[in-house]
Amino acid sequence: MRNLKLVLFITTLLTFPFQALAQGWTDPLTVKEVWLQDNLIVVHTSGGAGVYTSGCVSSKYIVVMGTEEARNQAFSLLLTATATGRTVSLWYKDTCVNWNYHQFSAVQLNAT
């Protein structure tokens, strides 16, 4: 019985792929559009790999921040990138949110 459980466990791991650690920084992205909808920041980009989490729409992101202050800071960085032409990197999560957009929780304004 114990061996059967072990075989079933290993078979399950091999049969059903998962992305337990599918999160990280995107490649540098050019911000094409950024707007607010209710308490969400929505971003359309170009560049990068496009799809970082299976099932998400390519090059589209929604910010999910814990506080309004953090959301405002993220929005400010995204507007700066749009105005100056600098690229950003986004910390994406292993989740698709509204409209199957990637969820991200941090913004990095890149030097070039």
More confident: 2 or 71: 71
pLDDT at 88 over 70: yes
Go through the domains of the chain in sequence order and give each one's CATH number. Answer: 21-109 (2.40.50.110)
Whole-number mean pLDDT of the chain? 84
Q: How is residue 35 written in tokens? A: 């707007």
pLDDT of residue 65: 85
Q: What is the per-residue pLDDT for 72?
A: 93
In this predicted model, what pLDDT tens digit does every residue of 4-41 receive, in sequence order? 655 545 554 444 444 445 789 999 999 999 998 888 89
Judge contact between 70 and 93, C-beta under 8 A.
no
Q: Percent of the chain, pLDDT > 70?
A: 81
Long-range contacts of the stretch 44-52 (C-beta < 8 A, 24+) = 45/88, 47/87, 52/22, 52/24, 52/26, 52/92, 52/102
